[in-house]
Amino acid sequence: MAQIPEPAKERLLYLMRLLEKRGEARITSGEIESITGWSSHTIRKDISYLGNADEGACVPDTAAGASAETALPESEASLGNSAGYNPRSLIAAIRQALGLGGRRRLCVVGLGRLGSAYLNFQGFSHHGGTPDRVLAGELPGDLAEFELAAGFDSNVNRVEILKSPAPLYPAFKMGEVIKRFSIEIALLCVPGDAAQAAAEKLAVAGIRGIVNFAPVALKLPPEIAVRNVYIVDELRALAVKIK
């Protein structure tokens, strides 16, 4: 399969989420365009990365939003006369193409306000169980793909007092617990001045990916994937758009 460019991966992830909320009704590229603002051209190109194996299941629409000038030559062969994409097949194709297979274990590091908010995020599963809200149909089943396995804080008192659906440990047990439970991802919610040191400990413990909420650029070995989520950056990105 062709290498999928990073921006296309991001859009496909977002599209997958849209489809998961939508239920069974087929969706046209015109509808996707009106929801996301992406051009039909971009949408078709992104979906073309999913490969030919799913061409039958994911037959694109010609009815709406797919005017002749935006249709890609490459996808012409698979242009059908259907009423859009089958969401279930498209979700499966995206999951397969992006390698989103089994459940991933994660931990929360730093149990202040933000960390404990994520500790109690209702969509994570625990100990292999599926969240009640997923079972009740209030949340989509995809959320169960991430299992919260542990929380860590350097304040032992906090670890003992906090209510949590997952077991909590003092920070010095991080290496041991991460290895024991094969935890792959960490939500790093410690203050900025503690973030680099905590990230290095996570790296040594064998963590493979970090969502970094601290306002610092982490310096880590290149094999560790990092996503930076920082509210001031989001606000600035908005401020740039609305100036």
Detail the residues annotated as belonging to a binding site for NAD(+). Answer: 110-115
Type of residue found at 207: I
Q: Where are the alpha helices (DSSP H) in 139-182?
A: 156-161, 174-180
**Nearest distance in Å: CB 242, a second copy:** 4
**Nearest distance in Å: CB 39, a second copy:** 14
**Nearest distance in Å: CB 97, a second copy:** 10
According to the binding rule CB under 8 A, does residue 64 interact with a second copy? Answer: no
Q: Which residue has the tokens 């149990």?
A: 111
Residue number with CB closer to a second copy (117 or 204)? 117
Considering only 184, 194, 200, 205, the residue that binds a second copy (CB under 8 A) is 184
Considering only 17, 26, 126, 173, the residue that binds a second copy (CB under 8 A) is 17
Cα angle value 129/204/153 (rounded, 5°): 60
Q: Which two tokens stand for residue 74?
A: 């490459």
CA-only gyration radius of the chain, Å:
21
Q: What residues line the site for a second copy (CB under 8 A)?
A: 7, 9-10, 13-14, 17-18, 21, 35-37, 98-101, 104, 106, 112-114, 116-118, 120-121, 123, 138-139, 142-143, 145-146, 184-185, 187, 192-193, 208-211, 215-217, 219, 222, 225, 227-243
